Chains A and B, each alone.
Chain A
Amino acid sequence: MVAPALLVTAGLFGGGLILTVVQSVGVDPVLGGQKVTFAAYRTLAADPAVRASLLLTLGVATLSTGLSAALGTALALLLRRAGRARLRFLAGLTLPVPHVLAATLVLLTLSQSGLLSRVTAALGLTRGPQDFPALLFDPLGVGVVLELVWKETPFVALLVLAALTRLDGRLHDVARSLGAGRAARFRQVTWPAIRPALLTACVLVFAFALGTVEVPLLLGATSPTTLSVLAYQAFTDTDLGRRPLAMALSTVLAGLGALLLWAYVRTGSSR
């Protein structure tokens, strides 16, 4: 029954993936490439900017995933306790906001000439834009991480909250009657219940952070920038000779994603 739909999906996705890999090894009839060559990969491996970019990409993804996970879990626990539908609605409000828009909002708020900078200057806390810390376009990707955390925390919270809602509250009562204090109850009742949902949320956030182009493009430094931005730049370059480079970068990103997926499935099956 689902075979036709699956065929289309697999065709588009798998076909694209195969084309990416094929073009990354220099085979492109349109551009005249006939022989398999790993020149693009060698170029990447030799380029220190790519290595810095890889580190930045992994760092940004790890940090934003970790922060979103911690804050999202805390938010979910808070919402579970408050139990107000209106609060839950407010918490989920950032979910439908597109990342481009969110990044623009962050830009308007946190840039050195942004809203916050003006407020601190008006309050006399800073003397002007030059005094305000460079949170955006910085080589450490603080702005990118902030935007991702702002967007993804409610997403994590939503998944964790769903798991918390499925947890029978009387399990806590039983645990208490058996002598479990607050910390022990979190460790032994709450945590096992939310762990799978949190793991799923983390994988999704990490995968998005790995692949996002618009956020680092708007909020990140020009150099180093993330792998996805490098790939985008190489792909849109007027020099078509850089096309294999873009495809090689994309293949590396896809490889990282696959690695993540493999780790996720492995932890899933060992549970």
Chain B
Amino acid sequence: MTRLELDGISAAHGGHPVLRGVSLSVGSGERFALLGASGSGKSTLLRVVAGLHPPTQGDVRLGGRSVLSVPPEARDVGLVFQDPLLFPHLSVAGNLAFGLRQRRVPRAETDARVADMLARTGLQGLGPRRVGALSGGQAGRAALGRALITRPPLLLLDEPLSALDAPLRRDLREWLVREAQERGTTLLLVTHDQEEALATAQRIGFLDGGRLAQVGEPAELYAQPATLNAARFFGSLNFLPGVQDSADVMTALGRLRVARPGHGPVTVTVRPEAIRPGPAAVNTLRAQVRQVSFAGAYWRCELTVPAPGMGGPGGQETALVWHAPPDAPPHAGDTVTLHLPPAACWTVPEHPEDRPGA
């Protein structure tokens, strides 16, 4: 239960900058997920917080106090990796007791807490087992239990359990969230898996090329991405470059009413599930269905909109992807009338991620 503050953290790997001025504040007891593609610097950020990687610049504060001079073993920050990384020469109970032994917790209390954790992790009776004899799920729970047993105020998770099957992972995640809530543990999770981030975290940060491109609630990052990369990462598939004049953007489709007013070159991004069938007062277009494929919860339709799609001085053909509702799927070759609700037409400034310091 502690507040984590990162203040302008930069870090390098062998002279290569990996993190560039990351500032972030995670509240006490909050569950925060850092998302990003591999190589975005997320694991390094976690190692900086744990004290395992020195930043070249910036400050890390826990509960308001700078911990840069505190070695990892004294930071009281739990750390769980993708692999369980149990100590192979110790039993399951020995692994759970490891942190307590370092803290010189009396034997009787250690035994009691280990027994309690064995029960909580569903590993009753497996205490004396060699860790090599555990299944993947059991090893994952043992790893989480080992990190939680010392009651660290902050728990860092680096793609935890992503080596496990989906159902196992879900169970373990739910368990972890419950335990963290019960103890008021602050969670900082690093992952490239959106589902994992959404299911675990209250807020999400998007890390892109070592910079924190956006921080917000999950719905915000989905609907209102700050950068093109964020939009792509969170599943937008339609990108229409154009020039904005007040509430409208001139695109290859024609004049498009968008969510927020502005001026200058922008890219309009529309999530495929936000496109609606039928006409509307604005942003109505007729498109040809090229290909339809079933994707479970929706039909994925690849469309082409002939130029000019909505009247006015359009350019060439435009390709769009639409997730049609499952009840009445169109067929390839059909011509459909659709509209793009202005609220779903989100504008992103031209390549803001290329600007230094963005």
Q: Please judge, given known A-B contacts A171-B87, A188-B87, A192-B89, whether A179 and B81 are in contact too, CB under 8 Å.
A: no
Distance A173 CA – B81 CA, assembled complex (angstroms):
10
Interfacial chain B residues near A176, Cβ < 8 Å: 50-52, 71-73
Q: Mark B40-72, 1 if CB is under 8 A from A, else 0.
A: 000000010011100000000000000000011
Q: How far is the CB of A64 from chain B (nearest CB, A)?
A: 28
Stretch at the interface among B95-103, B199-207, B250-258, B290-298: B95-103
- Complex contact A174–B73 (CB within 8 A): no
A168 interface residue (CB < 8 Å to B)? yes
A203 interface residue (CB < 8 Å to B)? no
- Complex contact A179–B150 (CB within 8 A): yes
A178 interface residue (CB < 8 Å to B)? yes
Tell which of B73, B76, B81 has the most Cβ of chain A within 10 Å: B73
In the complex, given contacts A174-B85, A179-B103, what are 13 additional A-B residue pairs having Cβ atoms less than 8 angstroms apart? A171-B87, A173-B50, A174-B79, A175-B87, A175-B98, A176-B52, A176-B73, A177-B50, A177-B73, A177-B77, A178-B146, A189-B87, A193-B89
| Size of A's binding interface in residues, CB under 8 A | 17
- Complex contact B74–A179 (CB within 8 A): yes
Q: Mark A154-181, 1 if CB is under 8 A from B, else 0.
A: 0000000000000010110111111111
A184 interface residue (CB < 8 Å to B)? yes
Interfacial chain A residues near B79, Cβ < 8 Å: 173-174, 177
- Complex contact B81–A178 (CB within 8 A): no
Q: How far is the CB of A259 from chain B (nearest CB, A)?
A: 27
Interfacial chain A residues near B156, Cβ < 8 Å: 177
- Complex contact A177–B85 (CB within 8 A): no
CB closest chain-B residue, reference A195: B89
Interfacial chain B residues near A193, Cβ < 8 Å: 88-89
| Size of B's binding interface in residues, CB under 8 A | 27
Report the number of A-B residue pairs with Cβ-Cβ less than 8 Å: 63
Q: Mark A1-29, 1 if CB is under 8 A from B, else 0.
A: 00000000000000000000000000000
Distance A4 CA – B51 CA, assembled complex (angstroms):
59
Distance A168 CA – B47 CA, assembled complex (angstroms):
16
Distance A211 CA – B248 CA, assembled complex (angstroms):
92
Give the B-binding residues of A (Cβ under 8 A). Answer: 168, 170-171, 173-181, 184, 188-189, 192-193
Q: How far is the CB of A9 from chain B (nearest CB, A)?
A: 33
- Complex contact A178–B85 (CB within 8 A): no
- Complex contact B102–A179 (CB within 8 A): yes
Give the A-binding residues of B (Cβ under 8 A). Answer: 47, 50-52, 71-79, 81, 83, 85, 87-89, 98-99, 102-103, 146-147, 150, 156
Interfacial chain B residues near A170, Cβ < 8 Å: 81, 83, 85
Q: How far is the CB of B38 from chain A (nearest CB, A)?
A: 17
- Complex contact B150–A178 (CB within 8 A): yes
Q: How far is the CB of B158 from chain A (nearest CB, A)?
A: 9
Interfacial chain B residues near A180, Cβ < 8 Å: 73, 98, 102
Tell which of B50, B72, B81, B88 has the most Cβ of chain A within 10 Å: B72
- Complex contact A178–B50 (CB within 8 A): no
Interfacial chain A residues near B146, Cβ < 8 Å: 178
CB closest chain-B residue, reference A178: B99
- Complex contact A181–B73 (CB within 8 A): yes
Tell which of B83, B102, B150, B156 has the most Cβ of chain A within 10 Å: B102
Q: How far is the CB of B106 from chain A (nearest CB, A)?
A: 16
